[in-house]
Structure 1
Amino acid sequence: MTVGLSINGFIYYAASVPNQTPPVFVCFDVRYERILSFITTPKEVLVWKVYTSLIEYKGKLDVLVPTNCLRTGSSFDRFDLWILEDVTKHEWSRQSFQLSLSLPFAFRRSQRMISQGTNKAGEIIFSPTSLPGPAQPFYVFYFNTDTKSTRRVRIHGVADTEEFWSRHGLTGMCCASFSPQHHDSIAFL
């Protein structure tokens, strides 16, 4: 039901059996190559299923759920962060946040803004799932849960010119993926 997320040697992902019990999170122990547990979740956690984002936040599994997409269908400015407090006891807590601006959210994957995780400063990162189109700027948004502030960062050189699109033969929709902890060093040069 979701993309898996690796945290400290365990992979977490949502799974379900059609027309059976409610969805659960599976905790897979990579070192011993076995399922450690099936974690029950509050029904609100997987209400969006593929529209939810699994992230690591402060060393714990968190599920980010946009809260007002059903009403608007095209953007969201609020989200719930469901935190798995205890893996063995299946205890969850919830924090609700209000963004200072609305982020695009469409039911079509090509027009969606999702969370890719957090950076080392603890900010939640939101990025588009696809490039915006020829000669349009590419933005990544950072939300600080402590100060409740959102900052927008334009990434220059990411398909923001017609020349880039034609040089690389890009046409139509192009998926974008973002790695929140990646950084380059001149040592690689």
Structure 2
Amino acid sequence: MEHWVFTLGGGVSRQWRKIPSPCPQHSPFTQGLTMNGRMYYLGLVPDLLSPVFVRFDISSEEISVLQNVEDAFWCRYYYTEIIEYDGRLAILDYSDLVKDGVMELWVREDEEKNSWSRKTLVLHPSHMNMVKTHIVHNMSLRVQGTTRNGDVILVPQHITRPDDQFIVLPQVTTHFYVFLYNLQKNHLRKVYIKSNRYNTKRWDVVGFDDIENFMSP
């Protein structure tokens, strides 16, 4: 495994540079979240059932594997994502969201002491009915970051498992929409994305500017 960085601006030569990495070989499976000059993500290590917590220091260009969250075990890592919660680093396990309306939120309280708090979030029955109405058959939801207001963006997706493989496909519909979930208020709402520029029925959310301006190619 190799790690490369590309520095933007600052008069530095704009080219890819290989950097040393003493951390164990791993494969990232979550999006990277950058906070206070450090990027965090979860990765898989061969022969380990539980993911590892990885930190990349942008200034020193050092990659390190941190101590795992105590008592946390994410065997269904396809449904785990690192997010920002109230200015703090957090890990959201939403593997039981569509089926039972339950999510587990781990919030880091102290980095040096590796102190985390755990909170179980349960959707209101009316919100659960909304999910059950729109997320049917082989559909699921995935976390695509948070808005500036701190709402978690939940994007509908199709999942197939041919030949024991796990394949995630974009949403197949002409109605562009996402769910926004407020963790602090425990409130879920559906937001339609209005656009007349696209004729395709297959689409996916790849980024966003703010709550009113989602990119939906």
Same fold, judged at TM 0.5 (above): yes
- The answer to whether the 8 A contact 2:170-2:204 is kept is yes
C-alpha separation between the residues in 2 aligned to 1:116 and 1:180?
Answer: 12
- The answer to whether the 8 A contact 1:126-1:141 is kept is yes
Q: Deviations over 1:80-108 (max 9, x none)?
A: 111122222211111111223234388x7
The yes-or-no answer on 1:2 pairing with 2:29 is yes
The yes-or-no answer on 1:140 pairing with 2:175 is no
User: What residue in structure 1 maps to residue 206 of structure 2?
Assistant: 177
* Aligned-pair CA distance for 1:36: 4.9
Residues matched between the structures, number = 167
Q: Deviations over 1:36-78 (max 9, x none)?
A: 5523223535332232111112222211112536xxxx64511
Where 1:113 maps in the other structure, the secondary structure is: strand
| Match runs of 1:8-157 below 5 Å | 8-20=36-48, 22-68=50-96, 75-100=99-124, 101-102=127-128, 103=131, 104=135, 111-129=139-157, 131-135=170-174, 137-157=175-195
- The answer to whether the 8 A contact 2:146-2:152 is kept is yes
In structure 2, stretches of 5+ residues that fail to align are 1-27, 158-168
C-alpha separation between the residues in 2 aligned to 1:158 and 1:148?
Answer: 32
Residues 91 and 158 (structure 1 numbering): CA distance in 2 closer, same or farther, change over 3 Å? farther
* Aligned-pair CA distance for 1:11: 1.0
Residues 181 and 132 (structure 1 numbering): CA distance in 2 closer, same or farther, change over 3 Å? same
Q: Deviations over 1:141-186 (max 9, x none)?
A: 1222333221111112278xxx712xxxx6xx544323364776xx
C-alpha separation between the residues in 2 aligned to 1:37 and 1:121?
Answer: 30
* Aligned-pair CA distance for 1:138: 1.9
In structure 1, stretches of 5+ residues that fail to align are 185-189
Q: State the superposition RMSD in angstroms.
A: 3.0
RCO higher in structure (CA 8 A, sep ≥6): 1
C-alpha separation between the residues in 2 aligned to 1:43 and 1:112?
Answer: 26
- The answer to whether the 8 A contact 1:45-1:65 is kept is no
Where 1:164 maps in the other structure, the secondary structure is: coil
C-alpha separation between the residues in 2 aligned to 1:146 and 1:51?
Answer: 20
Residues 118 and 180 (structure 1 numbering): CA distance in 2 closer, same or farther, change over 3 Å? farther
Residues 9 and 75 (structure 1 numbering): CA distance in 2 closer, same or farther, change over 3 Å? same
User: What is the TM-score normalised by the length of structure 1?
Assistant: 0.71
User: What residue in structure 1 maps to residue 199 of structure 2?
Assistant: 164
Residues 76 and 179 (structure 1 numbering): CA distance in 2 closer, same or farther, change over 3 Å? farther
Residues 46 and 116 (structure 1 numbering): CA distance in 2 closer, same or farther, change over 3 Å? same
C-alpha separation between the residues in 2 aligned to 1:42 and 1:50?
Answer: 20
